[in-house]
């Protein structure tokens, strides 16, 4: 990561993508992710009986439906910049879920959430230059998960404003998503913001 913004540039804030930008890039096994998600399906005697009658492993069937639902909701993000939440994912899959049973899903992702060691010194340098630091991420996860990861890694005290698509109606690259991030850091002129990401489609 480069450090600092040239003085006199007129820039007031630097806003960052999260996954693959503030964290190391990882390959993710999305089938394994869906199996972890399936652990949160609210099981009832009828769904268990139906799975047995169909000769199916209910957990595996739920995972397959969640994998397909993930392709749909992320397709909406890509093609229409429509946001979604974990609850929307289960609704798309036609499955009822218990949010209190998402621990396996959270644990699946946790190894991929570590903040890069260069982030804190970079953010300290930006703030020392009088710049505000923001975060804008396309995500299904609730705000508290992201804040928790930043707090765990000791960097959240340097964030002036953060926006997660799960809490607004849009995803990047919608101008509305970028506008929400600008508002969060208190800047109203796009020419006074720099956005840092890792993907040309989402982050431009």
Q: What confidence score (pLDDT) does residue 6 get? A: 54
The answer to whether 136 and 181 are in contact (CB under 8 A) is yes
Q: What confidence score (pLDDT) does residue 55 get? A: 41
Classify 135 as helix, strand or coil.
strand
In this model, does residue 44 exceed pLDDT 70? Answer: no
Burial class (CB in 10 A: 0-12, 13-18, 19+), 37: buried
Helix orientation angle between 58-80 and 30-38, rounded to the nearest 10 degrees: 120
- Is CATH 3.40.50.1000 the right assignment for the domain spanning 13-23+113-196? yes
The per-residue pLDDT for range 117-141, each reduced to its tens digit, is 999 999 999 999 999 999 999 999 9
In this model, does residue 26 exceed pLDDT 60? Answer: yes
Domain locations along the chain:
13-23+113-196, 30-110
Mean pLDDT of 158-167: 98
pTM: 0.88
Q: What confidence score (pLDDT) does residue 204 get? A: 83
List of residues 6+ apart from 14 with CB closer than 8 A: 5, 126, 131, 132, 133, 134, 193, 194, 195, 196
What is the number of other CB atoms lying within 10 angstroms of the CB of residue 148?
16
In this model, does residue 50 exceed pLDDT 70? Answer: no
In the structure, what pLDDT confidence band is assigned to residue 201 with cuts at 50, 70 and 90? confident
In this model, does residue 84 exceed pLDDT 90? Answer: yes
Classify 161 as helix, strand or coil.
strand
In this model, does residue 45 exceed pLDDT 60? Answer: no
């Amino acid at each position: 990561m480069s450090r600092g913004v040239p003085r006199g540039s007129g820039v007031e804030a630097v806003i960052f993508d999260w996954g693959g930008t503030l964290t190391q890039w990882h390959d993710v096994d999305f089938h394994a992710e869906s199996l972890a998600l399936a652990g949160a399906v609210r099981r009832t005697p009828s769904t268990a009986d139906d799975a047995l009658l169909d000769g199916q492993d209910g957990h595996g069937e739920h995972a397959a439906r969640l994998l397909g639902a993930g392709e749909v909701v992320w397709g909406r993000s890509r093609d229409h910049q429509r946001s979604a939440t974990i609850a929307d994912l289960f609704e798309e899959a036609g499955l009822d879920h218990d949010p209190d049973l998402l621990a396996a899903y959270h644990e699946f992702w946790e190894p991929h959430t570590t903040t890069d060691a260069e982030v804190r010194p970079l953010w300290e340098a930006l703030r020392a230059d009088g710049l505000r630091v923001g975060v804008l991420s396309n995500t299904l996860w609730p705000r508290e998960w992201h804040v928790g990861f930043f707090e765990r890694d000791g960097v959240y005290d340097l964030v002036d404003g953060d926006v997660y698509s799960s809490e607004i109606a849009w995803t990047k690259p919608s101008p509305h998503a970028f506008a929400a991030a600008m508002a969060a850091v208190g800047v109203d002129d796009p020419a006074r913001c720099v956005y840092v990401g890792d993907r040309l489609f989402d982050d431009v």
